[in-house]
Amino acid sequence: MQDVMVTDAAPTAAPSSPIVLTEKAVDEVKKIMEANSIPETYGLRVGVKGGGCSGLSYTLGFDAEKRDADKVIEQDGITLFIDAKSLFYLMGTQLDFTDGLNGRGFVFNNPQATKTCGCGSSFGV
């Protein structure tokens, strides 16, 4: 899986969706799915778990099916699965992908993150 980076930049998430993928993120998810022969029926599970030096860290992975309490979001041919606990921390987040001089990976632009760690892999609210 790709590296995950955290930023404090303001997202452009639509109010009707708790999380929005940028065009770059959608393209990268599709590339990863194709390169790893992941069926189109799978969803991208986006979540938050306890850990890291700031208290919380993001998780990304592919899942064959939704769980009972998941919020399901469809965007540009990508299905997102978000559990109820993570949804609370991800409201208004924009998931982007960067491939620049400072590294390659997914970037969470989360307006709820009030602090991040020095390595950029965890956040706090």
| Number of neighbours of residue 52 by Cβ within 10 angstroms | 18
Boundaries of every domain in the chain: 4-124
pLDDT confidence band for 119 (50 / 70 / 90): low
What does the DSSP 8-state code read for residue 53?
A: T
Select the highest-mean-pLDDT range: 12-21, 50-59, 89-98, 110-119: 89-98
pLDDT in tens, 85-114: 999 889 999 999 998 777 788 888 888 777
Summary count for the chain: helices (H), strands (E)? 2, 10
Contact 21, 124 (CB under 8 A): no
pLDDT in tens, 28-40: 999 999 999 999 9
Q: pTM value?
A: 0.77
CA atoms 13, 60, 54, 8: torsion sign: negative
Nearest to 57 by CA among 113, 9, 1, 13: 113
Residues ≥6 apart with Cβ < 8 Å to 114: 123, 124, 125
CATH code for residues 4-124: 2.60.300.12
pLDDT at 41 over 50: yes
Mean pLDDT of 31-52: 92
122 vs 19, residue with greater confidence: 19
pLDDT confidence band for 3 (50 / 70 / 90): very low
Contact 94, 22 (CB under 8 A): yes
